[in-house]
Structure 1
């Protein structure tokens, strides 16, 4: 990971990678316990990685795939996800998906934790954005759903979105076209849960804007366009049509100054208005996100055009997947790279497809057929 994360401009930093998401993800999603595997592709040979023990069964196949395509990675594996490992290895720093209370107890960076927990609230994000003069959608923030009385319902502009102040992967977001729908959606939350009511932003697309803190420096990592299915993230496409860094940079600087580490990202809308383009910021993800892994792999491999996509499959073994003639080729700079490979145990994969847009679409169609040959 060190070379990719530091752009080869910093002394080699060794990491213990533990990218388990179970402490900070929506409950009940099949296969979430297998996501630690996607950190393998962003690792460096000098790193140590922690993987769920169920993934050991797939190790030979995924390392053979990475060897064929020329993607180097670490081979020191700890087959458990105990966070105590983060502080056990002298000379190594932690690389985690999300730096929360569980990670803090094993590493002890209070400023990092405090900043992550503050900005992880959509309500705090809106408050800070207004203080910094950042364009955001019209949003009403409430400390509790109980504050939204009947009198409030007629004050909002419809359609609007009811959002939990703290949510993951689109869970806890409801589109409401009428006061009656909003009132019904409010019953989905327990009393005391902080929420916000946000105007609907008519957007041509949504951007994922990633930053990275390396040492004391803030760096722009990448802007990609989100591929969405409803509110749920399905993939990303790079490069994006726009790179409005200036729209969000004051907050990125604030987060760096207040102690955030590693990678974090913003969701930003691209909206055409009578007065020109608008780039309202929707939220901050103070952590790695679905776009981080293909982005870092693409950087390591020198891939300048790619998309990532989540696909389902009828297979549950990597050895069953036919990548013949579509696997990434270093000579052409095109082809398929397995990113989130461990989830094949539950019939899911996330892949990076390198190459021009037309080629990406062609390969996605071929992949769908190969991953589900009986349909």
Structure 2
């Protein structure tokens, strides 16, 4: 079952303390976004490129840290339009269920519209396939969203009048900054790949939450698990507030991170990340927290999607809906 219950905020407090102990300071992107909202010209300011003007820049402040804060701020700004875009772009079938399509490079010759056939494959295969389908679904929507953002940017460029929208400006500055950044050039990331990777992480955590429910509270029906997962979703949101390095180390220590880093693997039974709190909700255990800091790193922001209200919750809700519509809980009870 589970370890002894803990207070709901133990995890967030323990992770914040671990960051401080590792010598990491959180840059409050929400405050930078508020400044941009009040004065869009701040997008073009020198301060935005220097930790958003929220933390002192010293001689030993790394350019990587400053680039990270700038890029994550601009992504977070753009992400404010992504939630509505995803909601509007979710395909549904004639019965109002989310319509999945097979991923182009799926390892399984399965059809997500053939629910009877899916019910006949091993639960590990079914969950892996549905995880892959979920990632592919979000990838397609995010690709269209980014294309529309670039169209808006190009529209103002071709006007030649000097007029520009805040979205177009943020897009231009984001892509320019990433092209000029040694950090992102080394990693080979652009705005689209970062956005997709972030959605994959949220999807992976969402599916892990679904798969943890029958492990922690066995023997209940699908309606119980669907309700439990939806009420517990906010308990995993603090993972989006942490540094990337500590997120990866936590997922590895807690048994969430698979050996190949892909978001398509079923949560192992021996995982230690998920437990139950005093209210009977699924939450994250502080035990796997592992302090970590890259050499020269002093600042972190958390995931840009955290600063776009409701976006991560939407990703988690999409996963929970697919799990319910495909009767995943009934299969998980057979593990």
Structures share a fold, TM > 0.5?
no
Q: Please identify which structure carries the higher helix content.
A: 2
Q: Please identify which structure carries the higher strand content.
A: 1
Higher RCO, Cα 8 Å, sep 6+:
2
Taking structure 2 as the reference length, the TM-score comes to: 0.26
Taking structure 1 as the reference length, the TM-score comes to: 0.24
